[in-house]
Amino acid sequence: MDEYPLFEKFCFLKEKGLRKESFKALSYFIDEAKTWDNNAQQDFACWLFALFETSDDIHHILVHPLEKELLKPLLEVWMKSIPEDPRPYRWYGVFLNTEKRVDYLNNALRLGGSDEQLSLLTLIDIYLNALWYSFHHISEDFYLGDIKEDTALLTRSRQLNNKIECQQTRKNNNEELNYYQDLLNDWVMFKEEQTKGFVEWCESKGRNYHWVKAYYYEK
């Protein structure tokens, strides 16, 4: 932190709750960082993202001006100048706001292989969230996904999960993937027999699923 006094000032003021003053310090820091050469900017990015990778609470620091005005342009230049380096793809996909998260993470995996554990974990989380969305109204007989797409998503997730080094994490992910696979299989069977009453159908077959509770509010 001592190497970046203006950034240190930003963090200090932000921690104190002085938002206006902290953003002013950040603006000065960004202006300074833009004058650095590529190596100096990359050194800062390596230092900052290494902190982000070991922290669960980064939203106080990773604010919009820092992301938009410095980090995104910095990483985009990095990708073009050193296209074989997986790190900028990983950091862009894991931490920054983008509609192409999956593309960046897949590029990180393509370049870094199984060493890209954070990219693997993040991709699996994205896919599990997509599966959750497909099924979160299934107890009301509403399946919001596409059977072919979710089948492919399950296959891809298992392939990625096999590369996870932590055995417990791999086991936990497999349990979730098995749950959605069973749910999808039962939904297909159910639709061949009837159109309403999926929960009752599952109960009659001895299936035990944890359903998402739906709440409706009247105006």
Among 52, 83, 112, the domain boundary falls at 112
Task: Say if residue 85's pLDDT is above 70.
Answer: yes
Contact between 194 and 200 (Cβ < 8 Å) = no
- List pLDDT tens digits, range 162-218: 999 999 999 999 999 999 999 999 999 999 998 899 999 999 999 989 875 544 445
One domain for residues 125 and 178: yes
Q: What would the pLDDT profile of 166-182 be if each residue is shown by its tens digit? A: 999 999 999 999 999 99
**Same domain flag for 134 and 88:** no
Pair (107, 120) in one structural domain: no
pLDDT tens per residue, range 104-150: 999 999 999 999 999 999 999 999 999 999 999 999 999 999 999 99
Count of the separate structural domains present in the chain: 2
Range of the domain at 70: 1-112
pLDDT at 212: 59
| Residues 161, 219 within the same domain | yes
| Same domain for 103 and 28 | yes
- How many other C-beta atoms can be found within 10 angstroms of the C-beta atom of residue 122? 20
Of 96, 112, 128, the domain-final residue: 112
